[in-house]
Structure 1
Amino acid sequence: MIRLSGVGKTYDDGTVAVQHLDLEVRRGELVCLVGPSGCGKSTTLKMINRMIEPSAGTIEIDGQDVTGRDPVELRRGIGYVIQEVGLFPHQKVITNVMTVPLLYGEPKQKARERARELLELVGLDPATYGDRYPHQLSGGQQQRVGVARALAAHPPVLLMDEPFGAVDPLVRLRLQDEFLRLQDELGVTVVFVTHDIDEAVRLGDRVAVFATGGRLAQYDTPARLLGRPADDFVADFVGSTTGLRRLQVIPLDPAHVEPLDGVRAGDLGAAIDVDSTLGEALTVLLREDRGMVGVKQGAQFVGVLTPNGIHRALRAALAEMAEAGPPS
């Protein structure tokens, strides 16, 4: 879907922002670019839609070199969401979301209907929020409007530059959950820039870790990134809490679920779904202060998970990574 081959960016003063970057994003994939300030992750994002022109290499979307396309036309087909949102302050929410369809020449009524659909999709009732102005919304609500506006033209590609960085942690988690639901529902291809490794491993199908100087240090799944850092830089960037982070990206394996063995469902308290992560299971165990948590598939209990089961699942996941060979 998106392929960067030998892409580099060197500014006139000799500053190297990105060096010889090879990166491929598959259709429907959510890829997070993460790294310290000044590592080239935002520059890379902006080169994809030609807000910044690369100094070297090629960037392709669906096999077509973006440098051969009109920049304005290219950007109209790519959704773009930034931390500052960039809503038009003098326009109502519904009008903000209608902007891109109207630019494409859609009739006003059709654009309005599309905007209402998208507001509902991002969890904002158009009857309640459509006639408000941006300053009348919370930061999290403004971000939702920004996402809706970016999706208004049915873009196959969505670029996001630290979109949730300006909101408080609880709102940020809710926005992340909502966005994961949206991305799964719409199947759009997403390149997402963040400085937060926790956000990257929570959202990304794959994560690209950039080092200072614009070097791609590792490009891998969250589980392998946490379990098999490619070098000392990645290990240091991932940090000392990798064990806890691993739990958030390792799915529950039914092999580690123990039978009910006479345990009554009513004795289990809260339950987790069979497709939960180990981290979600541990959170429920700690919150409920119980020795086990029920595991459900749909409405049916299929077993229980204990702290020992979580430990065995983590060890099995790490062993599987070791057998898979060295990191990318």
Structure 2
Amino acid sequence: MDATAQPAMIRLSGVGKTYADGTVAVHELDLAVAPGELVCLVGPSGCGKSTTLKMINRLIEPTTGTVEVDGEDVTHGDPVALRRSIGYVIQQVGLFPHQTIETNVMTVPLLYGESRSTARSRAHELMELVGLDAATYAGRYPHQLSGGQRQRVGVARALAADPPVLLMDEPFGAVDPVVRVRLQEEFKTLQRDLGKTVVLVTHDIDEAVRLGDRVAVFAAGGRLAQVATPAELLARPADDYVADFVGSTSGLRRLTVTAIDPDHLEPMDGVNASELAGVVDVGATLEEALAAMLRDDRPMVGVKDGARFVGVLTPTGIHSALRASLVD
């Protein structure tokens, strides 16, 4: 998809940042993010991805170019009003330690003039939405929560003013790996349900592939090396730099972003149920199907579309699907 030709909730046009000592943090770049899209900015440390994110809400002022949010050039507007209208989540969350969880989440609605009762009701609703029981956690303080719980509060606070845009800078980097994966999956579902436009910075290609509708790979000097869907990025890196960044395990990562294709299924005829490693939905990924085979030590998995069996997937079918994705 050529994002520049699509309606955009966020559009960066020639946006760059050069500091007074001549250091180029971000080379002039063009990037458009469609309404409801989640775009991950990924790359090594110092490549300009966090600087790019902060230029969207003008925590860092761009040296060149324009930033549009929902069709409006915000480059020269009121930066404080802009920041209040955009959700912002960072790695260390940034909760106010002396305030309860309820009050932390109420902060932005109160700044907008909401009544305390309306803001409190909204805070409780959002706490439930991110998986925190309001009756249990509303009166607690940040130090009484785990890292994963604090991160959930950070997301709830960012959503409190119902912003159309959410910016996230390494939001899950401070939690342990098991909790991190769970938070990623829960956030992806939440983002899809709410339809928010999200730009998320990460140094982790696995996180970018897992979460992003598209992935923007940054290279040194703040240059945009490639913007593509996860499947396109893994199958067809634009150059050697992107190929090296994606890594030698890109084939395994492609399993996570390649959906089961009915064209690569075999018929159910003559298949004994004891040969099946359970059943997966036709909308599942190849990774989910392969995981079922490995878990149950079976040579194939059944595939259903609703209540209807549509065939079985074997390792040969997985291989065929991966090969087909290289030439699509």
TM-score (norm 2): 0.95
Task: State the 1:299 CA deviation.
Answer: 4.1
Is contact 1:265–1:301 with CA below 8 Å preserved after alignment?
no
What residue is the counterpart of 1:214 in the other structure?
222
Aligned AA (2:182): R
Q: Is the counterpart of residue 308 in structure 1 residue 303 in structure 2? A: no
Separation in 2 of the partners of 1:231 and 1:245? 18
Separation in 2 of the partners of 1:140 and 1:293? 34
Map 1:78-157 → 2, pairs under 5 A = 78-157=86-165
The number of aligned residues is 320
Map 1:1-328 → 2, pairs under 5 A = 1-263=9-271, 268-320=276-328
Task: State the 1:103 CA deviation.
Answer: 1.0
Separation in 1 of the partners of 2:157 and 2:222? 30
Task: State the 1:262 CA deviation.
Answer: 4.2
Separation in 1 of the partners of 2:286 and 2:292? 10
Separation in 2 of the partners of 1:48 and 1:196? 21
Moved more, 117-126 or 188-197: 117-126
Is contact 2:277–2:297 with CA below 8 Å preserved after alignment?
no
What residue is the counterpart of 1:325 in the other structure?
none
Separation in 1 of the partners of 2:48 and 2:277? 47
Separation in 2 of the partners of 1:129 and 1:299? 40
Unmatched tracts of structure 2, length 5 or more: 1-8
Is contact 1:282–1:307 with CA below 8 Å preserved after alignment?
yes
Residues 164 and 132 of structure 1: is their aligned pair in 2 closer, same or farther, counting only changes over 3 Å? Answer: same
Is contact 1:29–1:189 with CA below 8 Å preserved after alignment?
yes
Q: Deviations over 1:200-243 (max 9, x none)?
A: 01110111000011111011111111111111111111111010
Identity, % of aligned positions: 76
What's the RMSD between the two structures over aligned residues?
1.3
Aligned AA (2:150): Q
TM-score (norm 1): 0.95
SS in 2 for 1:67: coil
Q: Deviations over 1:260-295 (max 9, x none)?
A: 224455763432211111112111111111111122
Q: Deviations over 1:35-66 (max 9, x none)?
A: 00000000000000000000001111122111
Task: State the 1:144 CA deviation.
Answer: 0.7
Separation in 2 of the partners of 1:23 and 1:252? 30
SS in 1 for 2:150: helix
Aligned AA (2:293): L
Task: State the 1:318 CA deviation.
Answer: 1.0
Is contact 2:268–2:312 with CA below 8 Å preserved after alignment?
yes
Q: Deviations over 1:83-106 (max 9, x none)?
A: 000011111111111111111111
